[in-house]
Amino acid sequence: MTNETKNSVSLENITALAKRRGFIYQTSEIYGGLANSYDYGPLGTELLLKIKELWWNFFIRRRDDMLGLDSQILLHPETWVASGHVDSFTDPLVEDQLNHKRYRADLLIEEYLNKHPEEQKEIIIANLSTSELDELIGKYQIKSPDGNPLSKTQDFNILFETAIGAVTDKKSQVYLRGETAQGIFSNFKQILNSNRQKLPFGVGQIGKSFRNEITTGQFIFRTLEFEQAEIEYFFDPDTNSWEDLFRDWQNQMWDFVTKVLGIKEENLRWRRHTDKERSHYSKETYDLEYHYPFGWKELWGIAYRGDYDLRQHQEFSKKSLEYIDPQTNKKFLPHVIEPAAGINRLLLMLLCDAYQEDPSKERIVMAFKAKIAPYQLAVFPLLKNKNELVDKAKQVYEDLRQTYQVAWDDRGNIGKRYLSQDEIGTPFCLTIDFETLENDTVTIRHRDSAKQERLAISELNNYLKTALA
Ligand code: GAP
């Protein structure tokens, strides 16, 4: 654990920019907001779609050993009993004894330790029992954020419950899924039968998950409703070494974040879960952590879950989930490696990593990788009251829109338009001026260097293909 901050950007700056420019808004703001919930504005929606599409291409479409799935948010309630969520999907809850506000005990302790590094002796708080947490709260005399004494810690189940139909007895009770993974396990046999897939193979899905999180406050890092991109990779432990597969998946995750999303390597690290921290069925777990403005935090987890999930579902459903090896006829439950990412955390990472202030030019630049930016290009007519410039600019704009996401701006002066595009991360701005009308060239201005060059319109497509590769 560490509280040094490599990223100079503050969460306040990110939150303000995200709201100002239409990336992320507070949910139901006109009603005073809804706790731990955020909506994605026009630019945030573009980023979410891009992340999901890049993930899907990288992990599903380009591989022969991967299949996609889209299971429901509401599954048979027995699913969550079998998976262990009904019994133990809990967070440690403490209550301010005076005003009854509720907090997560482990997060309060972590916050205290971040402020008191002298106390830190590699204490890992995750998975401590309620009495161990109470012991630490007592030892450090931790109070609520309002300075009041805290109640004893209790386990609070974070699965959201709801009911199907008009009846509200136990029978109609269902849960909003707490992870997308269980839809993959419960469909395992169907996927196997309908695709004749041979081991090893994986199934990936992207979708909403829900957790009744107790406290958050770190913007979209931990919310009630969020999107996950999860993979269950099934294999025969007698044929494939889990260590090799695990390492290979770790490399794939690293490559996706650094090469596809363009994140700086120095802001990423692996953290291995300690034996105490790891779930009892997991033989190995690592978190890929990003250095958010509030410290190193989990972006993406990877766990070796053995055959725990398939075995549980087999037992509870009383249906065989075994795989039959077509060559040897060996019947067995495959083992699983699970890389599980949060799309919203990937988005928050993109915003934090891209944010740059350029004080000399008094500008903020969102230096997204060109391909990731919500708009790849902006097109401006130099003057908005000269029809010939506007007509030509519209023509260039419409042509480019066939292939790229292009912004149009004819407000204010060119300098202001550049600054505005810098703030949303548009890598190239094209200005149509009087010279364009003479020789069909445009000014192309680069976001990061703020340099400009002249380019023939006929060369634009080739130029952009290379720049956006
Ligand atoms: N199936 C395994 C699983 O769900 P997890 O570590 O609980 O593992 C996986 O979740 C990923 O989902 C996390 O690494 C994180 O990126 C994201 N995630 C989990 N809870 C979240 C929340 N409340 N808000 C936003 N993202 C969350």
Q: What is the pLDDT of residues 244-257, one digit of tens each?
A: 999 999 999 999 99
* pLDDT tens readout for residues 387-429: 999 999 999 999 999 999 999 999 989 999 999 999 999 999 9
Instruction: Please name which of 323, 318, 83 lies closest in space to residue 183, comparing C-alpha atoms.
Output: 83
Indicate if the pLDDT at residue 37 is higher than 90: yes
Q: Whose CA is nearest to atom 25 of ligand 1?
A: 222
The dihedral sign for the CA sequence 62, 67, 71, 73: negative
Task: For residue 37, give every residue at least 6 positions away whose Cβ sits within 8 Å of its Cβ, in sequence order, or none.
Answer: 26, 27, 28, 223, 224, 225
Kindly state the average pLDDT of the residues 28-56: 97
- 462 pLDDT tier (thresholds 50, 70, 90): very high
Sequence-separated contacts (24+) of 79-85 with Cβ below 8 Å = 79/182, 79/186, 79/313, 80/159, 80/175, 80/178, 80/182, 81/316, 82/312, 82/313, 82/315, 82/316, 82/317, 83/182, 83/185, 83/309, 83/312, 83/313, 84/312, 85/159, 85/175, 85/178, 85/182
Answer yes or no: is the C-beta of 51 below 6 A from any ligand 1 atom. no
Indicate if the pLDDT at residue 301 is higher than 60: yes
Q: Which of 163-167, 194-198, 312-316 has the highest mean pLDDT?
A: 312-316
Q: List b or e across 141-163, with b for residues whose CB sees 16 or more CB atoms inside 10 angstroms.
A: ebebeeeeebbebeebbbbbeee
Say whether domain 375-467 belongs to CATH 3.20.20.140.
no
Q: What is the pLDDT of residue 2?
A: 36
Indicate if the pLDDT at residue 17 is higher than 70: yes
Instruction: Please name which of 68, 313, 63, 322 lies closest in space to residue 195, comparing C-alpha atoms.
Output: 68
Transcribe 293-328 into DSSP letters.
Answer: TTEEEEEEEEEEEETHHHHHHHHHH-----EE-TTT
Q: What is the pLDDT of residue 116?
A: 86
Answer yes or no: is the C-beta of 213 below 6 A from any ligand 1 atom. yes
Q: What is the pLDDT of residue 111?
A: 87
Domain ranges of the chain: 11-89+158-352, 375-467
Q: Whose CA is nearest to atom 18 of ligand 1?
A: 342
Say whether domain 11-89+158-352 belongs to CATH 3.30.930.10.
yes
Residue 178 Cα: closest atom of ligand 1: 4
CB half-sphere exposure, 124, CA atoms < 13 A: 11
The helices-and-strands tally (H runs, E runs) of the chain is 15, 23
Q: Do domains 11-89+158-352 and 375-467 have the same CATH topology?
A: no
- Share above pLDDT 70 across residues of the chain, in percent, rounded to a whole number: 97
For 293-416, strand residue ranges (E) read 295-306, 323-324, 331-332, 335-342, 355-358, 363-366, 377-381, 406-408
Q: Whose CA is nearest to atom 16 of ligand 1?
A: 342
Residue 228 Cα: closest atom of ligand 1: 12
**What is the rounded distance in angstroms from the CA atom of residue 335 to the CA atom of residue 283?**
11
Please choose from 85, 219, 270, 298 the residue to mutate so as to test ligand 1's pocket, defined by most ligand atoms within 8 A of CB: 298
Indicate if the pLDDT at residue 62 is higher than 80: yes
Answer yes or no: is the C-beta of 431 below 6 A from any ligand 1 atom. no
Q: What stretch of H or E contains 24?
A: strand 24-26
* pLDDT tens readout for residues 327-353: 999 999 999 999 999 999 999 999 999
Say whether 419 sits in a helix, a strand or coil.
Answer: helix
- Token look-up 């004494």 returns 149
Kindly state the average pLDDT of the residues 68-95: 96
- 128 pLDDT tier (thresholds 50, 70, 90): confident
Please, is 115 exposed, middle or buried when counting C-beta atoms within 10 Å of its C-beta (0-12, 13-18, 19+)? Answer: exposed
